[in-house]
Amino acid sequence: MATKPAAVSIGFDAGALVTPGAAGKAEGRRVCSTIRQRSKALTGKKAALVLIFGGAPKPGLGQQVASAIGKQLHCANADIFAPKTPFRAFWDGGLDYGQARLEVFVFNTKQSASAG
């Protein structure tokens, strides 16, 4: 796994995203589309792990938002984010509610030289 992540920042309606029902599903589709657009630089790579930092005034809410975003990864790009790509949801009190930062660690496909 590469040790330096690719950063992807997104903005969205956090209140709608964490609301059950039609509003939450609609905002989930919008988040999916936003991640798809913002992750184009990762085309041809596979995510090994994604850390998601949700902005919110309190930790629990930030983690709830980040978790809801994580559920949209596969929808955003199934080639980059396989169905079971692990993600971890975190809070970032420095981000506004409705902002999130994804740190995408990709598989390192470079072959290392064997020690002789």
Buried b (16+ CB within 10 A) or exposed e, 36-68: eebbeebeebebbebbbbbbbeeeebbbbbbbb
Give the single-character DSSP code of 39.
T
Alpha-carbon separation of residue 41 from 14, 16, 59, 88 (angstroms): 25, 28, 30, 21
What counts of helices (H) and strands (E) characterise the chain?
Answer: 4, 4
Per-residue pLDDT, averaged over 94-114, amounts to 86
Predicted pLDDT of residue 19:
93
Predicted pLDDT of residue 109:
74
Predicted pLDDT of residue 116:
44
* CA-wise closest residue to 17 among 104, 98, 95: 98
pLDDT digits (tens, 9 = 90+) for 44-92: 999 999 999 999 999 999 999 999 999 999 999 999 999 999 999 999 9
pTM of the model: 0.91
Alpha-carbon distance of 36 to 38, in angstroms, equals: 6
pLDDT digits (tens, 9 = 90+) for 23-37: 999 999 999 999 999
Predicted pLDDT of residue 115:
45
**Domains of the chain (ranges plus CATH)?**
6-106 (3.30.1330)
